[in-house]
């Protein structure tokens, strides 16, 4: 089965004050048509930078895509001209951003902004785009869409704005939607509604969905496959059920232990991973997770582990065999 | 919006009151005495104590200061009367009214010139941050700030006169008869005055654009596949120019200060020239009249700026 999106050995670095921040350092993953793939990792692990790289939206300077390949529907996005990439952005690949409060333009109406992709990619008149936008707002269950389309973002709650963002992303019926922590900034009750809506609508339109999150609960509920990111690399990847039942990387295990459990005593179940993520401009030798890893051996300091197959479709980058050690 | 409007209008009243008190007092604190000057400069007035008292009585200068103020203000409010010139015996209001259109034309042209030049350059500088174009734009801005307009004005009048025997037009023809020729008189001084304003505007525009271009919603606009010029014009400029508009309010005092000098250099009969004459003559009513008119004007322009700010920012506009 060929993939809709194939990212190969992507490296995106930032230059700041003479040092190089290796925000994404050799990331590879696939997204197949119609599936939901999660990217999980702590803050600063390079999730947003990965997503922005796919759309070629890395601010340059200070950022730069150093190397790699991003094949979308058979074409390498990194070798396209800016004009060709523009035809893909918002049209065939749409993105939903992390911050609903600041990601909408405060001085344009919500309706105008939601309809804008239609205006530019389908060369629709403003009137036409507006009508389609009302239908989209209806679809994301914003009450009274004819009225609300005329409102400005400040008149919307966070959840409503994120619904509007979803409507905007769906506008041109893209094949791929990248949702960058779409609910992190929202109330817990609203989070579930928004994610549910997103999942339902992508299923309806057949769009593939990349959910970026640091919440394994979200992964378990919505993703077919998972990529676990740490310090700019993917350290484990596989089917969601496989990763949950048979995690092979100590970082993945750590993430799971830090997940509140419904069974058992919360006090004992919650074990956040000790220590801090490394400085991406000054990575430790060997495996980037080694300073925080309770299983680390000499080999981990000497040489960074490559992703290797655990089971078909399940890869992990760790020198230690947890089953033997634990 | 209506509440906002009413609140803004009410706030103007105390401002006007304080402005009028200051205008009234300042001129009376300054050294120098109009009565002295009148007596000295007129061969028909004898320099006696009696004569002096008579003049003071005529002008109401024998009254206590607060009574003088009340008389002055009620004259303005109830009769629209700014008083009479001490020297020329003409109505201050009429003298000012005659010259206001001249100074207004000059100021408006200067501000227009500044905005038309500065906003595109500022936007360009921000979009092409740290490129050659940006450096050129910023260098011009620094130049515009560094070169004083009185120097530039003097050079523009003197140098062509020496080199080619040409000097800028100064004779004012009535606007209704030959509008272009009327305006041509103002082009050079307005451009000079506008240059320093343009420098400030350009820097502010550039700063605001850089700030706005870093915002998340600009990234959203790009992620939709918008062309860069649409991102800049539709999504960035609208937000960046709101604060730039407030600058125009701050410009008014600079413009007025500048016109006083430039009207002098270019021999243009505006309010500035009238003010210079009045100060030389210690002609209190004229000076206070001009100050008051200018003060009211500044207050009104700032009010308009505030209101237009409200029109541009949906958050302010929608306040019930
Ligand atoms: N514009 C930028 N300039 C400099 N460094 C950047 C920039 N954007 C990102 N980085 C660096 O890249 C690294 C990865 O950032 P990224 O935003 O991808 O993290 P993330 O995984 O999305 O985290 P979060 O969960 O907090 O969103 C960070 O350490 C950050 O310092
Ligand atoms: Mg992020």
- pLDDT tens-digit map of A132-185: 999 999 988 899 999 999 999 999 988 889 899 999 999 999 999 999 988 877
Residue A69 pLDDT class (50, 70, 90 cuts) = very high
A103 touches chain B (CB under 8 A): yes
The CA dihedral of A165, A60, A232, A33, to the nearest 10 degrees, is 50
Distance from CA of A294 to the nearest CA of B (A): 39
- Higher model confidence: residue B31 or residue A145? A145
B203 touches chain A (CB under 8 A): no
Complete edge-to-edge strand list for the sheet that includes strand A63-72: A19-31, A5-16, A63-72, A75-76
- How far separated are the first and last CA of chain B, in Å rounded? 6
Residue in A22, A47, A55, A99 to alter for ligand 1 test, most ligand atoms within 8 A of Cβ: A47
Residue A240 pLDDT class (50, 70, 90 cuts) = very high
Closest-CA residue, ligand 1 atom 13, reads A23
Tell me the three state secondary structure of residue A140: coil
Closest Cβ–Cβ partner in A55, A104, A108 for B223: A55
User: The tokens of B64 are what?
Assistant: 């206590």
Query: A122 to chain B: nearest residue by CA?
Result: B225
Residue A262 pLDDT class (50, 70, 90 cuts) = low
A88 touches chain B (CB under 8 A): yes
Say if residue B225's pLDDT is above 60.
Answer: yes
In the stretch 109-128 of chain A, residues with CB closer than 8 A to chain B read: 113, 116-117, 120-121
Q: What is the pLDDT of residue A269?
A: 46
CB contact under 8 A, B313 and A89: no
Q: What angle do CA A42, A43, A44 make, to 5 degrees?
A: 110
Whole-angstrom Cα distance, residue A73 to residue A5? 6
What are the structural domains of chain A? 3-92+174-325 (3.40.50.300)
Whole-angstrom Cα distance, residue B137 to residue B124? 8
B313-316 long-range CB contacts below 8 Å, 24 or more apart? Answer: B313/A107, B313/B242, B314/A106, B314/A107, B314/A152, B314/A154, B315/A106, B315/A152, B315/A154, B316/B1, B316/B4
Give percent of chain B above pLDDT 90: 12
User: The tokens of B182 are what?
Assistant: 């009327």
Tell me the three state secondary structure of residue A88: helix
Ligand 1 neighbours, Cβ below 6 Å, are: A 14, 16, 21, 23, 41, 43-49, 59, 62-63, 98, 181, 214, 280
B227 touches chain A (CB under 8 A): yes
Closest-CA residue, ligand 1 atom 17, reads A48
Residue B45 pLDDT class (50, 70, 90 cuts) = low
Closest Cβ–Cβ partner in B215, B226, B239 for A120: B226
B317 touches chain A (CB under 8 A): no
| Chain A residues lying within 8 Å of B216, measured CB to CB | 97, 99, 102-103
- Best of A54, A106, A111 to disrupt the B interface (most B CBs within 10 Å) is A106
Task: Establish whether the linkage from the previous residue to A24 is cis, with ω within 30° of 0.
Answer: no
Q: What is the pLDDT of residue B320?
A: 45
| Chain B residues lying within 8 Å of A102, measured CB to CB | 215-217
pLDDT tens across A86-114, in order? 999 999 999 999 888 899 999 899 999 99
Q: What is the pLDDT of residue B31?
A: 65
Give percent of chain A above pLDDT 70: 94
DSSP per-residue letters across B63-100: S-HHHHHHHHHHHHHHH----B-TTT--BHHHHHHHHH
Residue in A13, A23, A95, A235 to alter for ligand 1 test, most ligand atoms within 8 A of Cβ: A23
Mean pLDDT, all residues of chain B? 82
pLDDT tens across A249-260, in order? 888 988 888 776
| Chain B residues lying within 8 Å of A55, measured CB to CB | 223
Residue A261 pLDDT class (50, 70, 90 cuts) = low
What are the structural domains of chain B? 96-280 (1.10.3720.10)
Q: Any residues with CB less than 8 A from the CB of B33 and at least 6 apart, and which?
A: B282
In the structure, how many helices (H) and strands (E) does chain A have? 13, 12
Tell me the three state secondary structure of residue B115: helix
Residue A267 pLDDT class (50, 70, 90 cuts) = very low
CB contact under 8 A, A102 and B312: no
**Residue A86 alpha carbon to ligand 2 centre in Å:** 22
Closest Cβ–Cβ partner in A89, A105, A106 for B223: A89
B1 touches chain A (CB under 8 A): no
With 0-12 / 13-18 / 19 or more C-beta atoms within 10 angstroms meaning exposed / middle / buried, residue B23 is: buried
Given phi > 0 = left and psi -120 to 50 = alpha, else beta, which region is A11? beta
CB contact under 8 A, B221 and A105: yes
Give percent of chain A above pLDDT 90: 39
Give ipTM to 2 decimals: 0.88
Q: What is the pLDDT of residue A1?
A: 56
Q: What is the pLDDT of residue A272?
A: 67
pLDDT tens across B76-95, in order? 888 778 777 777 778 888 88
Q: How many C-beta atoms lie closer than 10 Å to residue B47's C-beta?
A: 10
Name the β-bridge partners of A225. Answer: A37, A239
Say if residue A268's pLDDT is above 50.
Answer: no
A93-96 and A176-180: which strand pairing?
parallel
């Amino acid at each position: 089965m060929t993939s809709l999106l194939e990212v190969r050995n992507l490296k995106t670095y930032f230059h700041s004050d003479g040092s190089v921040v290796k925000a994404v350092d050799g990331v590879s993953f696939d997204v197949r048509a119609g599936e939901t793939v999660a990217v999980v990792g702590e803050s600063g692990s390079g999730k947003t930078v990965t997503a922005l790289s796919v759309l070629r939206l890395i601010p340059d300077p200070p950022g730069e895509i150093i190397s790699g390949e991003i094949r979308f529907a058979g074409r390498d996005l990194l070798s396209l001209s800016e004009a060709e990439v523009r035809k893909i952005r918002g049209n065939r690949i749409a993105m939903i951003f992390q911050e609903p409060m600041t990601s909408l333009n405060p001085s344009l109406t919500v309706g105008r902004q939601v309809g804008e992709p239609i205006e530019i990619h389908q060369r629709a008149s403003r009137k036409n785009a507006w009508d389609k936008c009302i239908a989209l707002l209806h679809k994301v269950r914003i009450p009274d869409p004819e009225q609300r389309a005329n409102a400005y973002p400040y008149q919307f709650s966070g959840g409503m704005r994120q619904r509007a963002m979803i409507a905007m992303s769906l506008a041109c019926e893209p094949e791929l939607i990248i949702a960058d922590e779409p609910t992190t900034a929202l109330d817990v009750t609203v989070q579930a509604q928004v994610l549910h809506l997103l999942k339902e609508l992508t299923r309806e339109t057949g769009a593939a969905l990349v959910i970026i999150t640091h919440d394994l609960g979200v992964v378990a509920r919505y993703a077919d496959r998972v990529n676990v990111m740490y310090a700019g690399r993917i350290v484990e990847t596989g089917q969601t059920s496989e990763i949950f039942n048979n995690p092979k990387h100590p970082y993945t295990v750590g993430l799971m232990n830090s997940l509140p459990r419904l069974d058992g005593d919360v006090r004992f179940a919650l074990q956040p991973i000790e220590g801090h993520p490394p400085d991406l401009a000054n990575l430790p030798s060997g495996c980037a997770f080694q300073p925080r890893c309770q299983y680390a051996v000499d080999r981990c300091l000497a040489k960074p582990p490559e992703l290797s197959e655990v089971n078909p479709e399940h890869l992990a980058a760790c020198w230690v065999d947890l089953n033997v050690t634990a | 919006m209506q509440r906002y409007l009413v609140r803004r209008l009410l706030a103007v009243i105390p401002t006007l009151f304080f402005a009028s008190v200051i205008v009234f007092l300042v001129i009376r604190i300054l050294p120098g005495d109009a009565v002295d000057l009148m007596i000295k400069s007129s061969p028909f007035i004898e320099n006696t104590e009696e004569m002096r008292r008579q003049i003071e009585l005529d002008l109401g200068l024998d009254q206590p200061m607060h009574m003088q103020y009340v008389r002055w203000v009620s004259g303005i409010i109830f009769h629209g009367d700014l008083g009479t010139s001490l020297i020329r015996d003409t109505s201050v209001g009429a003298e000012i009214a005659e010259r206001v259109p001249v100074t207004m034309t000059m100021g408006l042209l200067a501000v227009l010139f500044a905005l038309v030049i500065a906003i595109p350059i500022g936007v360009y500088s921000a979009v092409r941050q740290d490129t050659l174009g940006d450096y050129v734009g910023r260098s011009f801005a620094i130049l515009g700030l560094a070169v004083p307009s009185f120097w530039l004005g003097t050079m523009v009048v003197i140098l062509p006169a020496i080199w080619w025997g040409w000097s800028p037009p100064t004779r004012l023809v009535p606007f209704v008869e030959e509008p272009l020729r009327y305006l041509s008189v103002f082009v050079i001084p307005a451009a000079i005055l506008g240059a320093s304003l343009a420098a400030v505007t350009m820097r502010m525009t550039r700063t605001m654009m850089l700030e706005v271009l870093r915002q998340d919603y600009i990234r959203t606009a790009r992620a939709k596949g918008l062309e860069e010029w649409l991102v800049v014009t539709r999504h960035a400029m609208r937000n960046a120019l709101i604060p730039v508009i407030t600058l125009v309010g701050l410009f008014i005092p600079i413009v007025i200060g500048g016109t006083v000098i430039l009207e002098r250099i270019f021999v243009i009969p505006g309010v500035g020239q009238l003010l210079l004459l009045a100060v030389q003559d210690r002609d209190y009513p004229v000076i206070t009249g001009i100050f008051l008119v200018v003060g009211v004007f500044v207050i009104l322009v700032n009010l308009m700026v505030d209101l237009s700010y409200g029109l541009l920012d949906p958050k302010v506009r929608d306040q019930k």
